[in-house]
Chain A
Amino acid sequence: MNRPHICCSEHTRAELARRSIARAGDGLPSIEGGMPLPAGTGLSRRSFLARTGGLAMTVYGASLLGSGAMREGIAKAAGTKPKTLVSIFFDGGIDSLSVLAPVDDDRYRQWRPTLRLNPGQGTPWTEDGRLHWHPAATPLHELHQEGKVSVFPGIGYSSPDQSHFTSRHYWEVGELSTRTNTGWLGRLLDGIGTMDNPLQGVALDGGLSPALATARVPVAATWGPRYDLWAPGVWGDVEELMFDAFGRIGQRHEAGKDPALKTAGKVSRQATQLREQMRPFSSEISSPVSYPDVGHFSESLAGLAAMLDGGLPIRCAALNAAGAYDTHDNQIDELRNGLSDTCDSVLAFQRDLEARGIDDRVVTLLWSEFGRRPRENGSGTDHGAGGCGFLVGSGVNGTMVGEWPGLARLDGDDNLRSNLDFRSVYCSLLEQWFDHDAASVIPGAAGFARPTLIA
């Protein structure tokens, strides 16, 4: 059936805490009963501005620190050139059997009558010739050829959950628990971070990324380079007095008792601060390489490279991949578009880091909450279990970790099995990249293998 492009329902985990009011320390009731709350929901926030890149950000936690102290903290930590992990999330559950397709496998050909890549299509993966890269993933192939991509062809966890929201939560908190409310990167930052550097963990999509949720140190969220407020028929002295009043009204309510008024007050005050801090800054970012024009995602990566090059002390950054991956229908077009926008941008980001000479400081983890069902449903695929992931960077080992589980033996729900627990990857990254004891971050760390991820 010839159909227009229809956007499948996207899923962002944090949306599930709707109908609840953010307050520090409160267990937030979620309307979708029983779903885990996004880690970090309810942390107190404050606005903050990072000078390089001119990005506005909201800082979570650190309510006792003034923005001046944070600016000093950033200045102090700047120039230390720390190692950085960038986390890119394929939201919705990316179909691993399309990204690395077993084109000649009989079962694949039988189970994927409409979605399959045909023999000869896509480039064979050098480490497992049964699998061919999706044409839109060619940039990953290119980087893999240079030894800059480690591939996880069968990543997941045991007893997989097929709810987007629950499975994503597990990955975010680094534990198979719906009650944990700090992210795995957040706990790392609690260990290696400082109280005066909110930039150590930065989410680039305008809200706190649950994986970055900390218990102790501040982290930040940015949503683009411009911020201003405008009032018709108000200018000059009166305009300045008006914004002072707006902030002050906010501050007064922030100090009150009613949670909704407190929230509205806090946000008013933050908005006033932010407006003041943002006005003097230009938002121009100049990149040494050209990025594909795919909007927010490529702009964010370009901005991130500039910020890292500018010496900003970012240890972990999180953002969503371009595109939508919950491909229950119209999978061919939707997956190709998202994958190509994402992979093209990731390649540009890597080249940007190389051109700036900071590629040895950055690795990028690409992940998704699960893979999809091997048997297609006609024009798409339903939620599955075992999936794929990638680690990109000049410093990575560049080889396969785990193996492709194959289609001969599926799990009890007819999904791909996994043979690499995502927490193994986390443990190795913590120890090999951050030189940090994984046991202090990942519960049960001792029980997970430590594949070599960093060369």
Chain B
Amino acid sequence: MPIPVYRGRFGAKQAERLLWRAGFGPRSGESKKLARHGLKRAVYSLTRPKGSTRLIGPVPHDDDGLPLAPGDAWGHDHLWWLDRMVRSNRPLTERMALIWHDWFATGDVGQGRLNLAQGDLFRRSGLGSFEKLLLEVTRDPAMLVWLSGIDNDKWSPNENYGREMMELFTLGADARYSENDVREQARALTGWSADWDDNVGLNNFRFEPDRHDYGSKTIFGKSGDFDWEDSCRLCVTHPDHADYFVNRLWSYFVPVKPPKKTLRALNNLYRKKNYAIRPIVEAILMHPALYEGPRMVKPPIVQSAGMLRARRSGVKRESWVWISEEAGQRLFQPPNVAGWDEERWLDTARISGRWSGAGNITDAAEIDTDKYSATEGPEAAVDKALRFWGKPTISKTTRSELLRFARQVEDTATAGWQQGTYRGLRQNALRMLIAASPDLQTS
């Protein structure tokens, strides 16, 4: 069964949406350039990038101008990843890592290096086989700490990982499995261990046969001396897995559910390709629903990275840490093992964080109002502010309100001294209004 492919016009506007959904938005002029490739090549340029990974743009630093120390200094893990989102020439790799960070949501385990290493795993394996990814995550040190894998041994099985592996990572709560499956799964997963060292913390993560339960287990009606690898395979080959996988992956790119026929076709493709992730991502990125469907709220960190990309600026302030927290997405600190709650990306508290993020950028480029043009008209003012953000597409509605605001400022400026000053203030304000507009909070 063929999977529908978008056949409409693929212009700068469509390319702009693709760059936001599959990455962190366009740099100035990037949408137009990408559109020239046509849909298929544009998607492949993201999913099958050529050449090596490069970071383009200003090198990040902390408030003292010093290099970041992501494994050590507070908040630098967040800044370090944000910088990669801003500067990487492989935005989809970073976006997939963000998706897996949400999917296998692992919180701060108290040793930053372990969390960072998990992020590298997502970069490395994020477009490969989901089965392999699940195997790697299962033995990943940060996960082994986060969901008690190293506390799970044959003498006292710990269900934490085994339960969430089924409920949240592979099958979903409504899938066909029982409490007994959870317990047997926990037994199959026994055996992981680590050493503690007062200087380095947990280290030497390993499988210890002595800690593993070699008895027979019955999981999903199958019996055998299952171990951790079997337990991953049992989940991936479970009849409810493929639909769960496709639906969930789809939801990161398109805000409405896939049509039934598409779901079925993607399910078949996924199984036919031995649980490969890349073909599914490519199919979603070429699907009509992505280009013809409704807009989608950008995750806060995507919006922050995107604003910096549009400005060709870099991560130069530690304030991005608390600003992201206020906006609702501090990296390496998902709210719980189910990941972030996209239903709550926007409320009055979160929008205040997004507003602060825009201010964090305009602050660094604040206009000196003393020397500002006393004659700039409303249209010119709005266009100039749009250029500041790399000329993003905005709706007619928003543009008309920006113009109305621009005219109101001129009407208010009556005194001679106000002519230049107010126009300068107006330019600072227009930058904020554009960045915070519903148009730019969504893609």
How far, in Å, is B359 (CB) from chain A's closest CB? 5
Which has the most chain A C-beta neighbours within 10 Å: B168, B346, B351, B438?
B438
Determine the chain A residues whose CB is within 8 A of the CB of B152 once the complex forms: 377
Chain B residues with CB under 8 Å of A270's CB are 347-348
A9–B359 contact, CB under 8 A? no
* B79 interfacial by beta-carbon distance below 8 Å: no
Is the beta-carbon distance between A18 and B338 smaller than 8 angstroms? yes
CA A249 to CA B412, docked complex, whole Å: 20
CB distance from A117 to the nearest CB of B (A): 19
Of residues 5 through 59 on chain A, the ones whose CB sits less than 8 Å from some CB of chain B are: 5-12, 14-22, 28-29, 31-35, 41-42, 45, 47, 56, 58
Closest chain B residue to A15, Cβ basis:
B341
B343 touches A (CB below 8 Å) = yes
Question: Contact between A237 and B441 (Cβ–Cβ < 8 Å)?
Answer: no
In the bound assembly, the distance between CA atoms of A8 and B343 in angstroms comes to 23
- A232 to B359, Cβ gap below 8 A? yes
**CA A12 to CA B107, docked complex, whole Å:** 14
Contact B158 A378 (CB under 8 A): yes
Q: Which of B26-34, B118-126, B249-257 is the interface stretch?
A: B249-257
**Which residues from B are CB-within-8-Å of A281?**
none
Cβ of A41 to closest chain B Cβ, rounded Å:
6
| Residue contact A31 to B146, C-beta cutoff 8 Å | no
Give the contacts of B174-212 with A (CB-CB under 8 A). 174-175, 179, 182, 186, 196, 198, 201-202
Report the separation of the CA atoms of residues A28 and B105 in the bound assembly, to the nearest whole angstrom: 21
A130-153 vs B, Cβ < 8 Å mask (1 yes, 0 no): 000000000000000000000000
A234 near B441 (CB under 8 angstroms)?
A: no
B347 & A267 in contact (Cβ 8 Å cutoff): yes
CA distance A230 to B353 in the complex (A): 11
Chain A residues closer than 8 Å to B367, beta-carbon distance: 233
Evaluate whether A56 and B247 lie within 8 angstroms (CB atoms) in the complex, with A18-B343, A233-B366, A249-B437 already known.
no
Which A residue's beta carbon lies closest to that of B297? A260
Q: By CB atoms of chain B within 10 A, which of A21, A41, A265 has the most?
A: A21
Could you tell me the distance between the alpha carbons of A18 and B359 in the complex, rounded to whole angstroms? 27
Residues of A close to B348: CB separation below 8 A? 47, 56, 58, 227, 267, 270-271, 274
Partner of B247, one of A31, A45, A246: A31
List, in ascending order, chain A residues with CB within 8 A of B398's CB: 249, 252-253
Whether the pair A271, B151 counts as a contact (CB closer than 8 A) is: no
Once A35-B173, A413-B179 are accepted as A-B contacts, the answer to whether A245 and B157 lie under 8 Å apart by CB is no
A268 at the binding interface (Cβ < 8 Å): yes
A1 and B196 form a contact (CB under 8 A):
yes
Give the docked Cα–Cα distance between A14 and B343 (Å).
Answer: 9
Q: Does B397 contact A (CB under 8 A)?
A: yes
Query: What residue in chain B is nearest A250 (Cβ atoms)?
Result: B438
| Residues of chain B contacted by A6 (CB below 8 angstroms) | 109-110, 145-146
> Distance in Å from the Cβ of A244 to the closest Cβ of chain B?
8
Question: Nearest chain A CB to B433's CB is how many angstroms away?
Answer: 6
Q: Given A47-B348, A242-B405: A11 and B337 within 8 A (CB)?
A: yes
At the interface, yes or no: B279 with Cβ under 8 Å from chain A?
A: no
A108 to chain B, nearest CB (A): 16
Which stretch in A75-83, A352-360, A379-387 binds the other chain?
A379-387
| Other-chain contact of B296, A4, A260, A413 (Cβ < 8 Å) | A260
A41 and B425 contact, CB distance less than 8 A: no
Does A408 count as interface, using CB distance less than 8 angstroms?
A: no
Find residues 349-390 in chain A having any chain B CB closer than 8 Å to their own CB: 375-380, 382-383
Closest B residue by C-beta to A412: B179
Stretch touching chain A among B61-69, B159-167, B268-276 = B159-167
A351 to B186, CA, bound (A): 45
User: When the two chains form their complex, are residues B342 and A162 in contact, meaning their CB atoms are under 8 A apart?
Assistant: no
Contacts of B351 in A (CB 8 A): 264, 267-268, 271
- B426 in the interface, Cβ–Cβ < 8 Å? yes
Looking at chain B, what size class is its interface with the partner chain? Answer: 35 or more
A3 located at the interface, meaning its Cβ lies under 8 Å from any Cβ of chain B in the complex: yes
Q: Flag whether A241 is at the interface (Cβ < 8 A).
A: yes
Residue A329 is within 8 A (CB to CB) of chain B in the complex: yes
State how many angstroms separate the Cβ of B199 from the closest Cβ of chain A.
12
Closest A residue to B256 by CB, please name it. Answer: A29
Least CB distance, A234 to chain B, in whole angstroms: 5
Q: Which residues of A contact B294 (CB under 8 A)?
A: 258-260
Contact A31 B248 (CB under 8 A): yes
Residues of the A chain whose Cβ atoms lie less than 8 Å from the Cβ of B366 = 232-233
A378 touches B175 (CB 8 A): no
CB nearest to B335 among chain A residues: A15
A-B interface, 6 closest residue pairs, ranked by CB to CB distance from nearest: A34-B174, A33-B172, A264-B438, A233-B428, A9-B337, A245-B405
User: B residues touching A (Cβ–Cβ < 8 Å)?
Assistant: 102, 105, 107-111, 145-148, 151-153, 155-160, 163-164, 167-168, 172-175, 179, 182, 186, 196, 198, 201-202, 243-244, 247-248, 251-252, 255, 257, 294-297, 335-344, 346-352, 355-356, 359, 362-363, 366-367, 369, 395, 397-398, 401-402, 404-405, 408-409, 412, 422, 424-426, 428-429, 432-433, 436-439, 441-442
Interface on A for B, CB 8 Å cutoff? 1-12, 14-22, 28-29, 31-35, 41-42, 45, 47, 56, 58, 162-163, 165-166, 206-207, 223, 227, 229-239, 241-242, 244-246, 248-250, 252-253, 256, 258-261, 263-265, 267-268, 270-271, 274, 328-329, 375-380, 382-383, 413
Other contacts beyond A242-B433, A378-B158: 15, CB < 8 A: A12-B336, A15-B339, A19-B255, A19-B342, A32-B168, A232-B428, A233-B363, A233-B425, A238-B412, A241-B409, A246-B432, A258-B294, A328-B158, A329-B151, A377-B148
8 cross-chain CB contacts under 8 A: A3-B202, A14-B341, A18-B343, A231-B428, A241-B408, A258-B295, A267-B351, A377-B157
